Amino acid sequence: DLLRDGRASPTIFARMSARAAELGAMNLGQGFPDTDPPPAVAEAAVAAIRAGANQYPPGPGTPELRAAIARHQERFYGLSWDPAREVLVTTGATEAIAASILALVRPGDEVLTLEPYYDSYAAMIALAGGAHRTVPLTVELIDATVGGGEGDLRLGVDPAALRAAITDATRLILVNSPHNPTGITLPPEALTAIVEGAAAHDAIIVSDEVYEHLVFDDAHTPIATLPGARERTITIGSAGKTLSVTGWKIGWITAPSELVTAVTGVKQWLTYTSGAPFQGAVATGLDLPDEEFDAIADDLRRRRDGLLATLRGIGARVSVPAAGYFVVADLSGLGEVDAAALCERLPEEAGVVAIPVPAFCRDEADGGHASRFASLVRFAFCKDDATMTEAACRLEAWA
Ligand code: PMP
Ligand code: GLN
């Protein structure tokens, strides 16, 4: 039973990364950058270890990092949080998601997410005994009637579908914008639909904004900045994404104190505290000038454009991501209509690893919408130039 409900099986990312290592394939699967963080951030961690920051830090996070998180939210979004009561440091965004769900969801409570969704959401909702309900993204082929990027795919969300899905049964709405796996950002109408629905039905919003700084067009809009949202929203961030240190596992939440207290209560039983020497280094990173944040996004935009050109060149239809680490593509023009089967073969056939979008979905039999996304594949572009170039050559040779 444990194996069947997925609690004991490795994640798709772990499995596909192991396959990449085994075959020497280019790993455009798991989303982690293989570039280093800003030098000042790395040096601060080394200095902290030398200076003796090697024992348990305070459970909710060091005062220094909590203050830096509050400053960061104020500086970029004009949101003020009390670092002592409204900020919690977690062991990555993963723990922030887990502790938020375990703190707020009782058996049978309904949790709403988009679909496809980041895989840990479904696992944690199941561990909490919640009922997972999803609103599927829309998939549209851009042609002359739609305009802009002919031949590409446009992924989106229907605000009316969101409104209809939020009911008195909804305990929690787990929002993810910028979105993994697609890289879309939710438009203002969708964010408004969520906030209004949550207020009308007294639901709590948990907003996973780990890709907040990896945006290529417009600046990021935290849902907590919308009227009526702040008092019912937990916002999640990650140093892994923001500073390119996924191995450090430092994340955080900002929320009204009552919600922070509830999540802290669970966090203390999950990990107690989070990596001491990294906390000061992340504080250093969050205080870096805007140009440092922009440099990471600019670099990713260049890689995104390179991958889009490669995929279009081999005859795939692409969805142009507005943010994040990933391009979603449809290879059915090459006769590949089953993304799951293709991603199993691709490492050996092409020497490239990618992730099937249905891995972020549920089957129709389980109340999901996987078949709508059956032909879509997620390719990561957060990899160094040598990897991206070699992957492009291999995909061109394969196609
Ligand atoms: N949420 C989303 C949407 C993610 O993509 C990821 C990382 N892939 C996480 C949460 C987990 O973040 P962390 O590494 O900080 O635990
Ligand atoms: N978030 C990363 C991704 O989407 C991977 C994180 C993980 O391996 N759990 O690829």
Cα atoms in the 13 Å half-sphere on the side-chain side of 135: 27
Rounded to whole angstroms, how far apart are CA atoms 96 and 200?
25
Instruction: Tell me how far apart the alpha carbons of residues 185 and 364 are, in angstroms, rounded to a whole number.
Output: 25
Question: Which residues are near ligand 2 (CB < 6 Å)?
Answer: 11, 13, 30-31, 180
Cβ(246) – ligand 1 distance below 6 Å: yes
* Mean pLDDT, rounded, for 96-102: 98
Domain boundaries, the chain: 12-37+291-398, 40-288
For the stretch 264-294, what's the b/e string if a residue is b when 16 or more beta carbons lie within 10 angstroms of its beta carbon? bebbeeebebbbbbbbbbbbbbbebeeebbe
Whole-number Cα distances in Å, 176 to 21, 97, 152, 181: 30, 11, 23, 10
Among the bound ligands, name the one nearest to the CA of residue 179: 1
Residue to substitute in 207, 210, 248 for testing ligand 1 pocket (most ligand atoms within 8 angstroms of CB): 210
In ligand 1, the atom with minimum distance to the C-alpha of 240 is 15
Identical fold at 12-37+291-398 and 40-288? Answer: no
User: What's the rounded Cα separation, in Å, for the pair 157 and 192?
Assistant: 12
pLDDT (tens digit per residue) in 297-340: 999 999 999 999 999 999 999 999 999 999 999 999 999 999 99
Residue nearest to ligand 2 atom 3, measured at CA: 31
DSSP sequence for 72-87: HHHHHH-----TTTSE
Q: Does domain 40-288 have CATH number 3.40.640.10?
A: yes
Within its chain, how far is the Cα of 382 from the centroid? 13
Q: What is the pLDDT of residues 15-29, one digit of tens each?
A: 999 999 999 999 999
pLDDT band at 10 (very low <50, low <70, confident <90, very high): confident
Choose among 256, 227, 280, 261: nearest CA to 47: 280
Model confidence, pTM: 0.97
In whole angstroms, what is the distance from residue 175 CA to residue 106 CA?
Answer: 19
CA distance 341 to 378: 13
pLDDT in tens, 69-84: 999 999 999 999 999 9
Closest CA to 330 of 383, 362, 373, 391: 373
Cα 80 to Cα 286: distance, rounded to the nearest angstrom: 15
Helix (H) / strand (E) element for 154: namely strand 153-156
Q: So what's the pLDDT on residue 218?
A: 87
Q: Walk across the sheet containing 376-380 and list its strands.
A: 138-141, 153-156, 317-319, 326-330, 376-380, 355-356
Handedness of CA 78, 223, 12, 313 (dihedral sign): negative
- What is the CATH superfamily name and number for domain 12-37+291-398? Aspartate Aminotransferase, domain 1 (3.90.1150.10)
* Nearest atom, ligand 2, residue 29 CA: 10
How far are the Cα atoms of 86, 141, 214, 312 from residue 147, in angstroms, in the given order? Answer: 44, 10, 26, 17
Instruction: Check whether 2 has a pLDDT greater than 60.
Output: no
In this predicted complex, what is the ipTM?
A: 0.97
Q: List the Cα angle 178/182/184 in 5-degree steps.
A: 45
Q: Strand, helix or coil at 251? A: strand
Q: For the chain, give the mean pLDDT.
A: 96
Closest by CA position to 12, among listed 347, 341, 355, 343? 355
How many A from CA of 145 to the centre of ligand 1?
Answer: 36
